[in-house]
Amino acid sequence: MSGNTGRRYSAKKKQQVVNWVIDWSHERGRGGIAAAAKRFGMTPLTISSWLAANPVGPKVDITAALRELADITDQLIKLEENYMRSIKDRKAREKVLRRIIQGYPRK
């Protein structure tokens, strides 16, 4: 057996790193563990195990997320309305063209 038992980190240090990773991920979306490993000089595996054990999930602004979802829903409704309108317009144009074509005598 080797004598290397690894480093021990205080609960305060663990929480500091976890909070830093959560903030990083919230701002940038990804790469928080790798950035924290470089910044704090520890392995990504250690940090990921702390995140897995952390009962607090990432920070999410529910109100903003719901507002964004509502905006996307409104956009989809408008797109669907425009699409249905264009289909009706196309069918009306086809009907007029058929009448015009049928009305002309063929030679």
Q: What is the pLDDT of residues 29-76, one digit of tens each?
A: 788 899 999 999 999 999 989 888 876 555 667 888 889 999 999 999
pTM above 0.95, yes or no: no
Q: CA-CA distance, 14 to 12, in Å (whole number)?
A: 5
* Percentage of residues in the chain having pLDDT higher than 70: 86
Residue 52's identity, in one-letter code, is: A
Residues written for the chain:
107
Q: From 38, 62, 58, 46, select the one nearest 14 (Cα to Cα).
A: 46
Secondary structure element (H or E) that encloses residue 45, with its range: helix 44-53
Predicted pLDDT at 54: 73
Predicted pLDDT at 1: 47
Predicted pLDDT at 45: 92
Structure tokens that stand for 70 in this block: 């509502």
Burial-class residue 42 by CB neighbours within 10 Å (0-12, 13-18, 19+): middle
